[in-house]
Amino acid sequence: MDLLSHYNIKPGFNITRASHVVLGVKDLDLSRRFYVDMLGMVMTAEEGDTIYLRGLEEACHHSIVLKHAPQSSCLRVGMRVQTEDDLDPLKSHFDKAGLPAAWVDVPHQGRTLHATDPVGTQLEFCASMETRPRLVLAFNQFHGASPMRLDHVQIFCPQVVEALQFYLGMGFRLSEYIVSDGTETPRMVFLHRKGNPHDIVFARSPGPRLHHVALTCPESFHLLNVCDMAASCGFGNSVEYGPGRHFGPGYARFVYLRDPDGHRVEFFNSHYQTLDIEDAPIRFTDSDLVAGPNVWGVNRAESWFAEATPFA
C-alpha cells in the first residue's frame, strides 16, 4: 500500500512537536512522590487540584500536568504550533474533517484549541506557554532519572491506517512502521514533526488509550539509577520493562515504569535524526523485532502489550 499518499508537506499550519500530557490521578500526594521525589521531575507549581511538572532542560511551564480525578485517565495530549497564526487554520482543518474542535482557556498557556482526531485521541494545541529558567546546568537538582524533556507519546487505537492518513495530512512525517509478517498493512506507525523519529506513535489495540509518555534522560546510568530510586522510595514494583534497548524503531536504550495510577512512563537516552525530505520510512516486520543476534534482555511483560490509560 502507498503509505505516503496522504502526506501534505505544507498543510497551512505548522505543528512543531509533542508538548505535554494532562493526566487524571487519584492521589496527588502519592503522584508527587513518584514524579518529583523519585523520578526527578521539576515541580513548576501546585495550584488547587493540579500539579505542573517539567523536565530539567524545559523552559516551558509544564510538560506533564497531574489533575486530581476520581478515576485514572488521560485528559489531553498536547501539541505545540509555531505561532498563534497557525491555530485558526488548524481549527478549520478539524472543522472541515467534521471533527470536534473548540477554543478553551488553559492556565499558563496562550490561546488553546481542544480537538479530537479521527481515532478519538483528545488533543490540545497551543502556540505559547509561560516560561521558567532552564535547570539543565543545575546539577545539584539531578536525581532519579534526571528527566530532560518530553519527547513523544504512544496511542493505542484499532484504526492505525486512519490515524496515519490524518496525521500525514497535518504535515507529520512517517519515520518507521511495523507490519505483521505476510502483510503490508501497518499495525504500528511512528510519526514526527521535530526531526527525530517520534512525536506521536499509533499501535493497533483497543482504544483510544494512552500507552505511554516518553521523556529523555542524559545517560544510560540514569536508566539504572531510576530503578534503584524506585526501589528505595517504595516504588520497586513500578519498573515494568527494561532497562534494555529497542532493537527496532528508535534504537533507544530504555526503561518503562508505571505510576501509582498505572500511567506508563518511558525514559530513554538515545535517538537519531530524520530531518531530510529524502529520508524514507524504515519498515520492520514482527520477525525483525524478536529474532537476530542483537536482541537481548528480558521479555516484555504482558501488561506492556495489553494495558494502557483510557481517555477521559
Highest averaged pLDDT of the listed ranges 157-161, 246-250, 272-276, 284-288: 157-161
CATH code for 15-126?
3.10.180.10
Q: How far apart are the first and last CA of the chain?
A: 34
The answer to whether the beta carbons of residues 266 and 256 sit under 8 Å apart is yes
Q: Count the Cβ atoms, other than its own, within 10 Å of residue 275.
A: 10
Task: Check whether 74 has a pLDDT greater than 80.
Answer: yes
Which grid coordinates belong to 108?
499558563
* Poorest-pLDDT segment among 53-67, 101-115, 177-191, 234-248: 234-248
What is the side-by-side strand order in the sheet with 15-25? 42-47, 50-54, 64-68, 15-25, 73-81, 122-126, 112-116, 101-104
Q: 297 falls in which pLDDT band (50, 70, 90)?
A: low
Q: 196 falls in which pLDDT band (50, 70, 90)?
A: very high
Count of helix runs (H) and strand runs (E) in the chain: 6, 18
Please tell me which residue, 291 or 20, carries the higher pLDDT value. Answer: 20
The answer to whether the beta carbons of residues 73 and 65 sit under 8 Å apart is no
Mean pLDDT, rounded, for 196-219:
97
Q: Which distant-in-sequence residues (6+ apart) come within 8 Å of 183 by Cβ?
A: none
- Looking at residue 84, what DSSP letter applies? G
Task: Check whether 293 has a pLDDT greater than 80.
Answer: no
Task: Check whether 296 has a pLDDT greater than 80.
Answer: no
Task: Check whether 166 has a pLDDT greater than 90.
Answer: yes
Strands 186-192 and 264-268, bridge-based pairing = unpaired
Domain range annotation of the chain: 15-126, 144-310
Q: Is 3.40.50.720 the CATH number for 144-310?
A: no
Classify the C-alpha dihedral 153-155-159-160 as positive or negative. Answer: positive
* Poorest-pLDDT segment among 82-91, 96-105, 271-280, 283-292: 283-292
Which grid coordinates belong to 219?
545517560
Q: How far apart are CA 298 and CA 255, in angstroms?
A: 12
Q: Same CATH topology for 15-126 and 144-310?
A: yes
* Poorest-pLDDT segment among 139-143, 149-153, 289-293: 289-293
pLDDT tens per residue across span 245-272: 887 888 889 999 999 999 999 999 988 8
DSSP codes, 136-186: TT-GGG--TT----EEEEEEEES-HHHHHHHHHHTT-EEEEEEE-TT--SE
